[in-house]
Structure 1
Amino acid sequence: MKQFFKYVLATVVGVFISSILVGLLFIGLVTVVVSSLGSSSEPTVSANSVLHITLDHQITEKTVPSPFDDISIPGTPNTRSLGLNDIVARIKTAKTDNNIKGIYLNVSTVNAGFATVRAIRNALIDFKESGKFIISYSDVMTQKAYYLSSVANEVYISPVGSVDFRGLSSSVMFMKDALDKLGVEMQVVKVGTYKSAVEPFILNEMSAANRLQVNAYLNSLYDGFVSDIATARSLDEQAVRRVANEYLIQFPEDAVKQKFVDSLIYRDELLVKLKNKVGIDQKKDLSSISLLDYRKSSSVSGTSGAGRIAVLYAFGDIVDGNTSGDEQIGGESLSRELRQLREDDKVKAIVLRVNSPGGSALASDLIWREVSLAKKAKPVIVSMGDYAASGGYYISAAADSIFADAGTLTGSIGVFGLIPNLQNLFNNKLGLHFDVVKTGPYADVSIDRPLTAEERSIVQGGVNRIYQQFMQRVADGRGLTVAQVDSIGQGRVWTGSQAIELGLVDRLGTLDDAVRSAAKMAKLDSYKISEYPRTKDPFESLFKTSKEKVKMWFLKDELGDHVKYLNDMKRVMQNTGIQARLPYEIEIY
């Protein structure tokens, strides 16, 4: 008994001491965070400095602040990153900053869509108009990294480096055989010949219609990709295509031979070139500042004035409810933002920045309603990012005017429902059986049995109704007939360049172009720009960080890019109701 109490006492003391240590650790962490927030002084930019740009992080539409941005915590993934808004704004500020003499572009890969990459590329082209230099150097470059680097005055790679240039491809993972082995049947109800969001669950390869549309928009993207590179490097477009088609860049020397890079150099030689460019002695240290630390401009800015233009960001999946996640658009939360901007007399125009593959049809319609009401009160302009497809196009259709990038993927006007049938999994794989007593023929609709013909007919009727409503929304907003919308709808995806010809988009342009258009429609000679939703207090977000988000941080740290497959499966399992969604997450390499 004495020994028992001894162990109990030791356990209690151990728990007590551990609790104190954990508490002290938490207090220490909070102290460090508070200190970092309180001392977030802007780093000094010395004279004759170089702006160092690396893009080795996920690029979202808008910077999402984190309390851990300025501190390093052992054992935790690095989450420091910039959104497209701040990347472009900081490059724009550097253009007129007398202390910044040029840019050192150090990019190996770019984790973003084509429209995002082009927006950064256009900002770099604008920077060059100041007469300042851009030097690009990297050990290796993916195709998107090279596309970005091609605007530089000088492009270099390491003598043992490489430029990956093989043309574009789009791939998707098909899961039918895996689901068959698990005993899972995905029951599909859809409208749209090209609405292929369901294909990964019922096929092992693309349908003929889907292959047709992917081939069309991929080649549309590729045409612009090749043309931009050829122009930047003073090459013939056919020569650029030949390099990809014949895989002519296999070794570093090949990149020089094909005039894709200017020379092969080591980093010490790069340092010599940068010092010569800024005009300092080779014995002195080169002054540089990273884009992450260059905080002279943290948001979109405009001229001062009484009028205000609101830039409202809507990026991520469209979901039901009041969610305020970093990469989700809540139907209720975005509707509320639009309503508040509509009722705010200081806001003279709204620019809705959309980067979404779609999602819930219900949430999309709620947002569409608020866009329609806002348009009656003040100008509403849509600026499209990488995606504004399906539900993303639904919420855009009512705007006064729509701007897109040539590489934006849009359209996908179609609807589907996906209902899993797990009967085979339960009965034959797990040995589980269900019996039911019900008061009506439809009372037991469930995932443990297949839909009856009558039940499938009911679901199909709901899908058809929403598709008709979707087409009517587009027809009303774009001045088209429903028949015209149906002819370019059917779930088909288009690039921004193609969408202009079809009447789905008004102009190719950047977010800045959309803002200027909004100012013109509102008859504002001077104005200031405010971004919405308002940036949350990063310290407050520390305590609201969900368990799911923490798990995803560590999973991404371990799995890297492969975490997207886990996200795809999770998204499918979370889908409820009828969906207006892009065929799938399109990865173009």
Structure 2
Amino acid sequence: MKSFLKTFFASFLALIIFSVLALVIGIWILSAVVQPDKPAIGQKAVLVLDLNKIYNEQEKENPIASITGDESGNSPGLYDVVRLLHYAKQDSTVKGLYIKAGSNMNGFGASEELRNAVLDFKQSRKFVIAYGETIDQKSYYVSTAANKIYCHPQGGIDWDGFSVTYLFMKGLLDKLGIEPQVFYAGKYKSATEPFRFTKMSEPSRLQTTDMLNDLYSILLKTTAAARNIDTATLHSLSVNGVIRSANDALNNKLVDGLKYDDEVKDEIINLLKLKNTDKINFTELNEYGAAVPYKKSGNGDKIALIYANGDIVGGKGDDEQIGSDKFVELIRKARLDNDVQAIVFRVNSPGGSSLASDAIWREITLAKKAKPVVVSMGDYAASGGYYISCNADSVFANAGTITGSIGVFSLLPNMQKLFNEKLGLTFDGVKTGPYADMGSVNRPLTETEKRFLQASVDSIYYTFKSRVAEGRKTNIDYVDSIAQGHVYTGERAIMLKLVDRTGTLQDAVECAARMAGTKNYWLKEYPEKKTFWQEITNADNFVESNSEKAIVKKIGAEQYQMLQRVKNVKELMQAPQARLPFDMNIY
């Protein structure tokens, strides 16, 4: 019987493996043989900009979708959206743009890029209509670029101002018997405050207030110019809680009308001069991107565009991280390629490992000696994200970019009380020297060990400030006066000379071309797009992506982000960090 079962299960396992391999190979062969034609856009197309979608720095593509024809899982990158709208401006088949303005899932920097792209498209005199049932403030910010803004008669506009809420864990850690041993440099470096305090420190409250006020000011000034309402009136509407319904929004000129979905579509039909029975040719951006040649390729001089998106970590990292080994290799490849005339480094990162940041900084420094290097900052380029940006020839940021945060911290938990008193666990062992087990979580650090760790953090902080002083061509005393872990918006960072100018990624590309002395250029983008085979065989990413979607669907995006923050605590304990204080979700 044992022999039978052994043979049966071995055969069953072999059958499963064979079936999976057959499926993968079959899909691969099918994709190679069945190459779908470029989709036809048709006449009188209306492009759809859906603000509910997250437009990542690079395109997200579902490999199965290219076979099944279901493009809903695909999403163009942020810069792709910008280039698509620019191309559509001259495309006679595209007659207008429809903005789905519900909840904007993109950050302030990305929203600024999107809004500027809509303004550029509108120069073609094609119509732009924004519509949402209820429109949040970031969606409204983008929508102010439209010709008309409509909301549902029973919906409305969120016009209550911005807020940010931080999660503090000290009370939980106290109950568990976990003592956070914290070492930091910079009085505003508040990334460790959730472990030390139960509420914000005054320096943290001050910098967060300044940051929110800057972002709020951008919203007010933009809205004032677009809607012809002065900023004082707009601010009064917010602080007095005037906008409570769709009618309030209409009466105070924040929207152009209250309409149901069918009424908005009727207006678009009239603009297109169609019959009432005709169907509007709504075209998603990913479909449009598959149909038109919106990217220049292969002709003229080559400029490398390197996207650095996510937390900065040692090693190669994953697709959502900036792994130092991977990005050193990418920058070096562009540096040594004689055909590359300039490098544009797009940074969208809250920071991370200080050691990994320094490795990338070094390669940027070497590249700058060989050819022009221009940085474009996204939603975030803070702490480690600023570290890897500061030594470029020119640094661009959006007005709403979160940057600065020049500071360092290190965190090590002492879990002795948890182990001994809560769990009844004790530890014993031997060592060849007094510091051989330094960093063990089962005992507190000695005073000497604490001095070692603080000295290490202070040394890294000094190096960080030195890098900034060198890159920004100033002295270390000045850098120290504006550093201290302080977070700034891009607009304020220009005044402090941490950033050269406000501008989009396209502005940074054009600057790099000018510095390289070329007008005829094309972009080679890194990390390079994975092949179909690489995507389909990357089972781990496929499973992780679908698991994440399932969890978000069950518990909601905000709750999932909270879980991610708790998970990230482990990473904070691995090495000294140059990282943005908190994970900022601004509403």
The 3 A distance-change label for structure 1 pair 16 and 72 is farther
Question: CA-atom RMSD, angstroms?
Answer: 2.5
How far residue 496 of structure 1 moved from its aligned partner, in angstroms, is: 0.6
Give the corresponding residue for 2:562: 565
Give the corresponding residue for 1:58: 54
Give the corresponding residue for 2:172: 178
How does 1:522-533 map onto structure 2 within 5 Å?
522-533=516-527
Give the corresponding residue for 1:331: 324
Give the corresponding residue for 1:84: 78
The 3 A distance-change label for structure 1 pair 455 and 78 is farther
User: What are the superposed Cα offsets for residues 543-565 of structure 1, whole Å, 9 maximum, x if unpaired?
Assistant: 22426555434323323312111
The 3 A distance-change label for structure 1 pair 524 and 377 is same
Give the corresponding residue for 1:426: 419
Asked if the contact 2:60–2:74 (Cα under 8 Å) also holds between the matched residues in 1, the reply is no
How does 1:181-196 map onto structure 2 within 5 Å?
181-196=175-190
Give the corresponding residue for 2:111: 117
Q: Mean Cα displacement is larger for which, 551-560 or 232-241?
A: 551-560
Instruction: Give the distance between the partners of 1:354 and 1:43, measured in 2 at CA.
Output: 33
Secondary structure of 1:260's counterpart equals: coil
Instruction: Give the distance between the partners of 1:278 and 1:31, measured in 2 at CA.
Output: 44
Q: TM-score when scaled to structure 2?
A: 0.94
The 3 A distance-change label for structure 1 pair 221 and 44 is same
Percent identity, aligned pairs only, is 42
Q: Which amino acid aligns with 2:238?
A: A
Of residues 406, 411, 433 in structure 2, which corresponds to 1:440? Answer: 433
The 3 A distance-change label for structure 1 pair 443 and 15 is closer
Of residues 222, 226, 238 in structure 1, which corresponds to 2:220? Answer: 226
Of residues 341, 348, 354 in structure 2, which corresponds to 1:348? Answer: 341
How does 1:477-556 map onto structure 2 within 5 Å?
477-546=471-540, 548-556=544-552
> Could you list the runs of 5+ residues in structure 2 that have no partner in the other structure?
none
Q: Which amino acid aligns with 1:572?
A: V
Instruction: Give the distance between the partners of 1:482 and 1:133, measured in 2 at CA.
Output: 51
Give the corresponding residue for 2:578: 580
Q: Mean Cα displacement is larger for which, 325-334 or 557-566?
A: 557-566
Asked if the contact 1:42–1:295 (Cα under 8 Å) also holds between the matched residues in 2, the reply is no
How far residue 70 of structure 1 moved from its aligned partner, in angstroms, is: 4.5
Q: TM-score when scaled to structure 1?
A: 0.93
State yes or no: 1:134 paired with 2:128: yes
Q: Which amino acid aligns with 1:114?
A: F
How far residue 327 of structure 1 moved from its aligned partner, in angstroms, is: 1.4
Q: Which amino acid aligns with 1:584?
A: F
State yes or no: 1:200 paired with 2:194: yes
Instruction: Give the distance between the partners of 2:390 and 2:407, measured in 1 at CA.
Output: 14
The 3 A distance-change label for structure 1 pair 554 and 298 is farther
How far residue 211 of structure 1 moved from its aligned partner, in angstroms, is: 0.3
Q: Mean Cα displacement is larger for which, 246-255 or 371-380?
A: 246-255
The 3 A distance-change label for structure 1 pair 65 and 345 is same
The 3 A distance-change label for structure 1 pair 14 and 465 is closer
Secondary structure of 2:420's counterpart equals: helix
How far residue 539 of structure 1 moved from its aligned partner, in angstroms, is: 3.2
Instruction: Give the distance between the partners of 1:297 and 1:396, measured in 2 at CA.
Output: 35
Secondary structure of 2:347's counterpart equals: strand
User: What are the superposed Cα offsets for residues 402-433 of structure 1, whole Å, 9 maximum, x if unpaired?
Assistant: 00010011110000000011111111111110
Of residues 383, 405, 429 in structure 1, which corresponds to 2:376? Answer: 383
> For this pair of structures, how many residues does the alignment match?
581
The 3 A distance-change label for structure 1 pair 229 and 33 is farther
How far residue 154 of structure 1 moved from its aligned partner, in angstroms, is: 1.0
How far residue 15 of structure 1 moved from its aligned partner, in angstroms, is: 9.0
How does 1:4-403 map onto structure 2 within 5 Å?
20=15, 24=19, 27-28=22-23, 31=26, 35=30, 38-70=34-66, 79-296=73-290, 301-302=295-296, 305-323=299-317, 325-403=318-396
Asked if the contact 1:93–1:296 (Cα under 8 Å) also holds between the matched residues in 2, the reply is no
Asked if the contact 1:141–1:163 (Cα under 8 Å) also holds between the matched residues in 2, the reply is yes
Q: Mean Cα displacement is larger for which, 299-308 or 216-225?
A: 299-308
Asked if the contact 1:33–1:71 (Cα under 8 Å) also holds between the matched residues in 2, the reply is no
Instruction: Give the distance between the partners of 2:455 and 2:292, measured in 1 at CA.
Output: 49
User: What are the superposed Cα offsets for residues 293-326 of structure 1, whole Å, 9 maximum, x if unpaired?
Assistant: 2125789745874311111110100000122x22
Secondary structure of 1:349's counterpart equals: strand
Instruction: Give the distance between the partners of 1:568 and 1:298, measured in 2 at CA.
Output: 40
Asked if the contact 1:353–1:384 (Cα under 8 Å) also holds between the matched residues in 2, the reply is yes
Q: Mean Cα displacement is larger for which, 199-208 or 64-73?
A: 64-73
Q: Mean Cα displacement is larger for which, 159-168 or 341-350?
A: 159-168
The 3 A distance-change label for structure 1 pair 431 and 110 is same
The 3 A distance-change label for structure 1 pair 303 and 524 is farther
Asked if the contact 1:361–1:578 (Cα under 8 Å) also holds between the matched residues in 2, the reply is yes
Of residues 442, 456, 459 in structure 2, which corresponds to 1:462? Answer: 456
Asked if the contact 1:49–1:278 (Cα under 8 Å) also holds between the matched residues in 2, the reply is no
User: What are the superposed Cα offsets for residues 235-273 of structure 1, whole Å, 9 maximum, x if unpaired?
Assistant: 211121122111212111111111111111112211210
Secondary structure of 1:440's counterpart equals: coil
Q: Which amino acid aligns with 2:375?
A: V
The 3 A distance-change label for structure 1 pair 414 and 288 is same
Asked if the contact 1:317–1:356 (Cα under 8 Å) also holds between the matched residues in 2, the reply is yes
Instruction: Give the distance between the partners of 1:8 and 1:559, measured in 2 at CA.
Output: 47
> Could you list the runs of 5+ residues in structure 1 that have no partner in the other structure?
none
The 3 A distance-change label for structure 1 pair 587 and 33 is farther
Instruction: Give the distance between the partners of 2:348 and 2:29, measured in 1 at CA.
Output: 33
How far residue 8 of structure 1 moved from its aligned partner, in angstroms, is: 10
How far residue 340 of structure 1 moved from its aligned partner, in angstroms, is: 0.7
